[in-house]
């Protein structure tokens, strides 16, 4: 399993799309923080708010881009059967693909720690930041990335086309991130507004961004991860017996 994880990471980093995905993520988050309207320099307030507002939307496309080849490419070139003959279970295979993709997504996030240092150094007095909220936001982004990655792996297992996989994954991520929030805006829901909104990812990510890590938020993300990982295993098993 460890060898498969290493192989997945190496293949991605050795491809042009791998470098492009990381560069695009850093470029967009950097522009949001320093250049776009509402940036930290214009606000005159030392915070990483613009980064954490735009990062989920970039992840919404970044995670599908990273995961779209995971199973789709294996099926297209006919190496899926070879993988299934190795001494690992279907769940271990899925977990190896998932962990490798998540590591790659986190690799794109890691350089943004430089922004944290830069904002802290520019603050007056230095490091006059809400570091608790920043830590909570980074933890929230980690769990957000884990869920988006799980959805991307699932989408990749459904089709041989990387483009179709990307589109399915992006749609799933969008639906779970803002779909329930949009539904909760309907006044007809009445008392159900809160429960419906809490079914979406955005509510739990926003909760973590306040700097308070609630066990309910952690369990929510772990639950979403588990559902899509087990669903992917079911799809892989069905291909095995087909």
pLDDT in tens, 171-185: 999 999 988 777 766
pLDDT in tens, 137-157: 899 999 999 999 999 999 999
With a CB cutoff of 8 Å and minimum separation 6, the contacts of 197 are 180, 181, 184, 203
Per-residue pLDDT of the chain (242 residues), as tens digits, is 777 788 778 877 777 777 888 888 888 888 888 887 777 777 667 778 888 888 999 999 999 998 998 888 888 877 777 777 777 888 888 999 999 999 988 888 888 888 888 888 877 777 878 888 888 889 999 999 999 999 999 999 999 899 999 999 999 999 999 887 777 666 555 666 667 778 889 889 988 888 778 899 999 999 999 999 999 999 988 865 44
- Say which DSSP state 177 is in: I
Residues 208/212/214/218 CA torsion (nearest 10 deg): 40
- The first and second tokens of residue 119, run together, are 């904002």
Q: Compute the C-alpha angle 23/169/144, nearest 5°.
A: 65
On whether the CB atoms of residues 118 and 33 are closer than 8 A, the answer is no
Give the global pTM. Answer: 0.90
Distance, in Å, from the CA atom of 189 to the CA atom of 192, rounded to the nearest integer, reads 5
**Residue positions counted in the chain:** 242
């Amino acid at each position: 399993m460890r060898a498969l994880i290493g192989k997945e990471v190496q293949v991605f980093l050795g491809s042009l799309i791998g470098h492009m995905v990381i560069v695009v993520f850093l470029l967009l988050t950097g522009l949001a923080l320093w250049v776009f309207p509402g940036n930290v320099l214009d606000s005159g307030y030392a915070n990483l708010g613009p980064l954490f507002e735009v990062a989920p939307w970039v992840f919404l496309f970044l995670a599908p881009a990273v995961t779209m080849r995971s199973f789709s490419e294996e099926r297209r070139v006919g190496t899926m059967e070879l993988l299934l003959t190795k001494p690992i279970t279907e769940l271990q295979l899925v977990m190896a693909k998932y962990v490798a993709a998540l590591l790659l997504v986190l690799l794109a996030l890691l350089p943004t720690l430089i922004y944290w240092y830069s904002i802290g150094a520019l603050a007056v007095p230095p490091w006059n930041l809400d570091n608790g909220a920043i830590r909570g936001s980074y933890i929230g982004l980690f769990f957000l990335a884990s869920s988006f990655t799980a959805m991307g792996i699932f989408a990749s297992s459904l089709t041989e086309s990387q483009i179709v996989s990307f589109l399915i994954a992006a749609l799933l991520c969008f639906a779970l991130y803002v779909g329930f929030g949009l539904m909760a805006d309907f006044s007809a829901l009445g008392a159900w507004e809160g429960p419906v909104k809490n079914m979406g990812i955005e509510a739990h990510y926003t909760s973590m961004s306040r700097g308070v890590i609630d066990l309910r938020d952690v369990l929510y993300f772990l639950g979403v991860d588990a559902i899509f990982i087990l669903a992917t295993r079911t799809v892989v098993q069905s291909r095995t017996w087909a």
